[in-house]
Structure formats: C-alpha cells, structure tokens
Amino acid sequence: MTKVVFGNAVNEGAKRWGWFLGHFITPSEDPRSTEDLEVKWAVHKVGDSRTEWAVNNQAATLSILIKGQFRLQFEDGDIVLSREGDYVLWCAGVPHCWIAESESTILTVRWPSKAGDSVGMPTQEINQ
C-alpha cells in the first residue's frame, strides 16, 4: 500500500462535490479511503446554496472558513463565518443548510465517513 499520497483537493474532489478523503475513495487500498473521516475543499460563488435542509445521522461536522463570508442555518439560528479561521462544529442529528454570501472557500471535515449518512429533510420536519 502507498504510504504517501499528494495531490490537489480542488481537482480530486471535483467529481464528488469537493470531497476528496473518505469512504467513497476507490480503490480501498488508497490511504485516502477511510471510514474514519471525510474532508471537503469547496469554493462557492456568491449565492451558491443548499436550500434543502440536511442532516447527518452519525457524523459530526466541522466547517472552517478559508476566505469569504458563509452563512450556515440551524434550527436555533444562523452562524455567519466572516473572518479567516471562523468555524462551526455541529453534532450528528443537527439539521442544517447554507448559503455563500460572498465568494467563499470552506474546508469541511466530517467524522465518521459512512455511506448514506447525509440525508435531505422536508422543511416541515425542521419546524416541528
């Protein structure tokens, strides 16, 4: 098995919405293939959004702002990441959605990395 891997997160994640480390990497012998965590590098244009609420049933998530301004919406209110290094961490089972308020670069780490863990939620379930 290869013990050192290098590359470019933007290029490698292009086919997987920015995710470049996690259970979905093949072959499984690749050191980037792991069920321990997932890592995503995302560059968003102003106005990019996920308007459908989503939840991870098993995974915690950490999103760190590299540049820009990025709003994450949760049941209890919004968190705006506006300074380099601002972050938000949320536990499994917490519904969320987001919008890029300016061109933004976000590094997201999610653990563990399990197939089918991220699911969309109807809006009425959020408001109950």
Judged by DSSP in three states, 3 sits in: coil
Residues of the chain with pLDDT under 50: 124
pLDDT at 57: 95
Q: What is the pLDDT of residues 37-53, one digit of tens each?
A: 999 999 999 999 999 99
DSSP H/E element including 52: strand 49-56
Domain 9-110 in CATH 3.60.10.10:
no
Measured between alpha carbons, how far is 29 from 23 in angstroms, rounded to an integer?
11
